[in-house]
Structure 1
């Protein structure tokens, strides 16, 4: 289907859709009202409806004028004949001028409504009732009105059952909850509760022993070597108990060292 611009640029399309101008031209203005009635009915324009009425009255007057022409003797003309001829020419020329002027907006309207379906093709179809999900009734089968395209409804979706509960020990190890003392826990507890690799837990315990216990939570990252992205997730669960004091050193004995000469 062509676009409106392509239709307006097509000369043959313009000629075909301007055929309604033949009415006022060939009928000497008598059928101008019929041509205008056609385009006004299509477009719904009120000014063309009024022009249809006006040219209908003018066509009736013109028809009466034609009937009165030639009543005089042959070779003579009466004032009535002259007036009738003038009325015929005025109505004819004015009808052609008006229709030619109206042809441009008519072509523009027609170009935008070329693909419109006819009135008989747009009649509302009888709605088809939806199929009965429970199948055709006994009356439908006996009367022969049961639809042959009926199909049983699809089965309901399967029920989703919740997964079985996991073992308590596995759950606590996989997703521990609660604080953990970084100064009292061994490497195994730190690895399970904090999700650290065994090597990282061993290194954390070694650094804790070396410095005599952590005094601030950030030392697990700065001293213990816990990666920053891991430390950000476990920081709020770490507690630090006071570090155990180092064992007292043995007091030196009062005796000095004896030298054998």
Structure 2
């Protein structure tokens, strides 16, 4: 059985700032532990519902009283492929800040990755997922830039002017690694005609899907990453393409 957590997504996506879910704000100061905890607490009802759905999918009976989910660990900054880089702008950084990811744990032992995004006056939980990529790969950064190419769930490290793969989708893109210039040429060829203002965007397409005819993404049975949109902040940041892509990959 599948469960749809993206009701109305196709309609809302039309207002997203970036057609492919590339990037986000140019920068953002790291939220304090208190701000992260407050953002997660404010989304307690949605997060509890998310954990409840996971339990039901697994056939687990929940207790009548379930302790509120708690933040577990420090937030990790997530960087995503930048539209200026995709457009071929000289000197553009390959990625820009998108959101912070933090782990939340339920009293049942279940865990979720929470996307924490800036909003006016603070931070908000905008998405939940069972995947852990947004935590594990940024944690490996050290002094390097670690970023994602969200359309194929590829994760990379930039070191000494080269783009190096961190997972299998990335290795299928760059093998043992390519120069930054070569990677820019690659993503420009793949996505350059899909940026805001392009005919692709004007036709209402997003992340490789025609939203005028495609069904709303649904959660997939079995294991794997399982996203849940908590509020409008995800779409306002133009990250809908990422969530849509992850849900679509889960169906395949």
TM-score by length of 1: 0.20
Highest Rg: 1 or 2? 1
TM-score by length of 2: 0.21
The structure where helix makes up a greater share of residues is 1
